[in-house]
Every structure is written in C-alpha cells, then in structure tokens.
C-alpha cells in the first residue's frame, strides 16, 4: 500500500486534486481516503458517493488537526490495509501553516492556490520545505507574470521542490503528479514511519480549551512575562 | 532537518527555445471516432481561429496545445514540437514555456502599479534590458484606445487595458512564440493591430473565437463539433470582400464607442 499525505490551506483545491487522483486510478488501484478536519468536513461523504471508495473522517475539535492526524495515522494505516487499499490518501486541513504533517514512507503533496497572492509560499514555508511535490491550482486564472513569480517564491523556500501547475477541476498538467504516485514506494514498515520534521504542535491547556488568563491557570509549556523563557509546569 | 528532493533536468531534453513548427495529430471525438484530419501544422507568423458552438471542444483543443498533450488528455490528441515530443520543461516551467495562454478568466490579482508589476515579471526572468517595461507599456498602448499610464494600479485597469497589457507582456517579456487567446476579443482591443503586430513579431497566434473580424482575419479556421475537429477552412481570397466590409463595420463600432465615451450625441452611424 502507498501512502499519500495531502496538506495545504483551506480552499486551495486539495479535494479537487484528490478527486483527480482517485479518478486516474479507478478500476486499476483501490483507493482509501481519510480526512482530518477541525469542526465539519463533507469530503469523505462526497468521495464515497462519487467513487464508491472506503472513506473516513476525524474531527480534531480543540486540538490542532495536524497533531490529531499524526496521532491517528497508525490506526488509519491499519484501517486502510484492512480495506485492502493500494493507495491510502490522507488529507489534512492544514490551518496554521506552521506545521507540516508529512511523514517518511509517504508522498507528501502540498496544495497551493495560485490566486492566494504571490507571497503565500513564503508564509507556509514549513509545509513547503518538507513536502515532496507542490501542486499549484487555479493557474488558469492568473496572469503569466504572477504564475512565474509564484513559482520563484516556492523555489525560494525549497529550491529543489517538484512543482506541478494545474487547473485541478479539469485535471490539466497532472500527468506529472500521477507519475510521482506511480514511482512512489509502498509503505515498507508502518512501525518505522516518523514525521519528517518537528512541527510546532502546541498542546498546552489553552489549545485544549481552557480560557483563563495567566500561566497560573495552565499546565504544560508556560511562560511568565519577566525573567524566563518557556517553562514546563506539571508532572 | 530539511529533506529536499532535487528537481531533475534531463539533459537529453534540453532544447533551444526555437520553434519551427507545432504539429497537432488527431485524437477522437466523443463517440470514439478518429478526428477528420491527418495533421495540422502551426508555424511562426500563422494566425488560426478555432470556431464552433459551446461545448464543441474549442477550449479542450487549446488546452491540448498548452500542455503539449501526448495522448494523455481526454481528447487523445498528440502535439509535437519540431516533429518530436515536447521537452518536459516546455510544459512545467512557465519561464521556459513557449506558449502563453490568455483566457477570458485570466486576471492580474496583484494590487500593484503597472510598472512595478512588469518589473516584478522582468526580475523573475532575470532580464537586464532596462527599457523593457517601457517598451511593453508602449506596445500595450498600441492595442487599446485608452492609454495605460505606468503609475496606474493593475486593479484599476479596464478589461481592454488588462488584455492589451497581457498580450504585450506575452510578446515582449515572456517572448512566447505561440500565443493562445481564448475568447478575449470583445474586451475593447484593436484586433487588427494585435494580429498585425504578432505577425511582424513572428508569433503564431491561435484564437478561440466567435468574432467575425478575428475569424476572417485568420488565415485558417478550425471548425469544431462534438469534441473533435470537424474540418479546416482556408478561404484565401474567397472571403476578401466580406473581410474588407466587416473591418469597415468594426471601425465604425470602435469610433462610435469612443464618441459615446467622450459624451457626444450620435446623430449618424457614419459621420462625415
């Protein structure tokens, strides 16, 4: 089974890219899909209805979705294997853009929208730096100059990154993505999968919903105004 | 630790950017039958119109050309460059791409001054000609009736001004040998002027169009139907008189439009 992790900002076109991948391999390989989102997600139902593939979703609620994605990933690989999937696609909501949910033994795809402004690649450098492929969507909507500059900015963050430009709804230019999926190795040992980088996954008591102000009301990594860096409070 | 996968550039694919010809080889229509032509060749300086009703496959043909299809799109067409499969960077690297596609949806989103916008493009291409921005704006101004000033913001340009600037940018800064214009003709640009200029710059120009002037000005017309090329017209002198007449009418329209803009009362369609 191959593992594909797709991340990127909301409305970048992640699900449109996922649909093109499932369509490309339908009848040839069995795909399974997991969506990790914060409050609501509909993609799993849509994809199950459209392609009849096994899908699942996880709501992360008060915890960072990328963090939850990492926590559930091992169980999810087991689930996809029990569904006899050849390709397991994990789509992450990717909200704060400081995180990078990409792991070893997987193909890490970051999806960016060309209409999100030429400085966007610089703002999501953590995700770009650890991905294998950047898919730039909606390139049909922007001027040649902006397309070229957008690409330059991606290369500024990750010089060697493979960049694929597409109108994901039509699927133009995705032949290079499919080639990368074809060439991607299968998972060799799920026990050995690790995150490619250490993301700033804050799981302090604020992250999980305690609203009181002041470090005295919190546990975990805390900070006082004066005299100290980050401290650990608790067991 | 940052893991970086190197982008491979295969040396055997390193072609100079000289395009002598583009060849379109037939695919299939929606019923699965082979298209009705053996091959279509496009050379620098050619003007071609793609015509046909909505849904007949015009934009799909343009997309095939833009990505140099090799039997891997819905149409099954193959597009060759100088008789060979196109090198990968022709498709993947916009700075090496020999095709500039400008559609009715193409927009400039950056809220920047015209000269800064063009300067940004020039910088990303690492070009050194200092007067190139000025030249691009001057050319754009030949295509449109409303003058574009270098300091005006991109977002406040009219549709016609934006298209004119994009075409001028494609010719001068992108220096693309093939320019595809997908239904952009009705946006207040001087069609004859654009076509004439592209011919003198030795660009191949392909229009998706419903416009009579543009269609008749093109040397070749590709007629689309049911997702496939139905036939290819090369009218030659047969349409000469109709062309002269439609150009006169078009000039009348342009003149009237300018007069209406200027706040005049229009008492006659052809004022003396």
- The answer to whether A147 contacts chain B (CB < 8 Å) is yes
- DSSP track, A6-26: EE-STTSSHHHHHHHHHHHHT
- Residue B5: the pLDDT is 40
pLDDT at residue A172 is higher than 60: yes
Same domain, A150 and A235: no
Same domain, A80 and A118: yes
In a domain, A137, yes or no: yes
Could you tell me which residue, A198 or B76, shows the higher pLDDT? B76
- Given the cut 0.85, state whether the ipTM is greater than it: no
pLDDT in tens, B64-76: 998 899 888 889 9
- Residue B7: the pLDDT is 37
Same domain, A221 and A167: no
Q: How far is B151 from chain A (nearest CA, A)?
A: 18
pLDDT at residue B8 is higher than 60: no
Number of structural domains, chain A? 2
Q: Do A152 and B124 touch (CB under 8 A)?
A: yes
Q: How far is B56 from chain A (nearest CA, A)?
A: 16
* Least reliable range by pLDDT among A47-56, A224-233, B51-60: A224-233
Write out the two tokens for A75: 């169980």
Residue B21: alpha-carbon gap to chain centroid: 16
- Residue B226: the pLDDT is 92
Highest-confidence segment of A19-28, A218-227, B97-106:
A19-28
In a domain, A168, yes or no: yes
Q: How sure is the predictor about A203, in pLDDT bands with cuts at 50, 70 and 90?
A: low
- Domain limits at A222? 204-235
pLDDT in tens, B198-225: 888 888 999 998 889 889 989 999 999 9
- The answer to whether A11 contacts chain B (CB < 8 Å) is no
- Residue B223: the pLDDT is 96
Q: How sure is the predictor about A112, in pLDDT bands with cuts at 50, 70 and 90?
A: very high
The CATH number assigned to the domain holding A24 equals 3.40.50.300
Same domain, A231 and A123: no
Q: How far is B271 from chain A (nearest CA, A)?
A: 39
Could you tell me which residue, B15 or A142, shows the higher pLDDT? A142
- Residue B163: the pLDDT is 87
pLDDT at residue A111 is higher than 70: yes
Same domain, A188 and A208: no
Same domain, A224 and A159: no
Residue of chain A with shortest Cα separation from B88: A176
Q: Do A172 and B5 touch (CB under 8 A)?
A: no
Same domain, A65 and A7: yes
- Residues comprising chain A, all counted: 235
B73: which chain A residues are within 8 Å (Cβ-Cβ)?
172
- The answer to whether A194 contacts chain B (CB < 8 Å) is no
Q: How sure is the predictor about B13, in pLDDT bands with cuts at 50, 70 and 90?
A: very low
* Least reliable range by pLDDT among A46-55, B3-12, B47-56, B240-249: B3-12
Same domain, A188 and A209: no
Which of the 8 DSSP states describes residue A141?
G
Q: Do A145 and B173 touch (CB under 8 A)?
A: yes
């Amino acid at each position: 089974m191959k593992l594909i992790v797709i991340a990127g900002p909301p409305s970048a076109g992640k699900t449109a890219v996922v649909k093109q991948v499932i369509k490309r391999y339908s009848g040839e390989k069995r795909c399974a899909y997991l969506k990790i989102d914060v409050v609501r997600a509909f993609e799993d139902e849509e994809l199950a209805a459209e392609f009849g593939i096994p899908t699942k979703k996880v709501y992360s609620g008060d915890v960072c979705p990328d963090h939850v994605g990492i926590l559930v990933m091992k169980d999810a690989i087991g689930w996809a294997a029990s569904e006899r999937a050849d390709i397991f696609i994990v789509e992450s909501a990717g909200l704060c853009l400081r995180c990078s949910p990409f792991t070893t033994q997987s193909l890490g795809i970051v999806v960016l929208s060309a209409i999100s402004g030429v400085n966007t690649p610089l703002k999501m450098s953590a995700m770009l730096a650890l991905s294998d492929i950047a898919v730039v969507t909606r390139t049909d909507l922007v001027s040649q100059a902006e397309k070229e500059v957008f690409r330059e900015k991606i290369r500024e963050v990750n010089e060697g990154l493979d960049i694929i430009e597409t109108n994901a709804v039509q699927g133009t230019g995705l032949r290079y993505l499919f080639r990368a999926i074809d060439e991607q190795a299968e998972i060799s040992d799920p026990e050995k999968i690790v995150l490619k980088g250490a993301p700033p996954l804050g799981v302090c008591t604020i992250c999980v919903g305690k609203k009181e102000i002041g470090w005295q009301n919190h546990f975990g990594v805390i900070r006082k105004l004066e005299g100290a860096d980050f401290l650990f409070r608790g067991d | 630790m940052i893991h970086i996968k190197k982008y491979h550039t295969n040396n055997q694919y390193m072609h100079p950017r000289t395009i002598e010809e583009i060849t379109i080889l037939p695919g299939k229509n929606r019923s699965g039958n082979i298209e009705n032509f053996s091959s279509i060749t496009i050379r620098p300086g050619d003007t071609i119109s793609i015509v046909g009703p909505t849904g007949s496959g015009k934009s799909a043909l343009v997309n095939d050309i833009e990505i140099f299809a090799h039997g891997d799109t819905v149409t099954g067409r193959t597009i060759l460059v100088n008789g060979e499969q196109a090198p990968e960077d022709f498709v993947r690297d916009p700075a090496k791409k020999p095709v500039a596609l400008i559609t009715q949806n193409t927009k400039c989103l950056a809220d920047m001054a015209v000269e800064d916008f063009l300067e940004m493009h020039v910088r990303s291409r690492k070009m050194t000609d200092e007067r190139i921005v000025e030249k691009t704006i001057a050319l754009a101004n030949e295509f449109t009736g409303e003058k574009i000033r270098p300091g005006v913001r991109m977002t406040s340009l009219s549709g016609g001004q934006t298209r004119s600037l994009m075409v001028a940018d494609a010719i001068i800064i992108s220096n693309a040998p093939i320019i595809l214009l997908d239904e952009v003709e009705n946006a207040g640009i001087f069609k004859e002027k654009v076509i004439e200029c592209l011919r003198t710059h030795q660009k191949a120009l392909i229009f998706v169009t419903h416009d009579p002037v543009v269609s008749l000005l093109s040397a070749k017309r590709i007629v689309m139907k049911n997702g496939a090329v139905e036939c290819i017209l090369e009218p030659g002198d047969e349409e000469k008189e109709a062309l002269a007449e439609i150009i006169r009418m078009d000039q009348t329209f342009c003149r009237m439009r300018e007069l209406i803009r200027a706040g005049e009362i229009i008492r006659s369609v052809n004022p003396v």
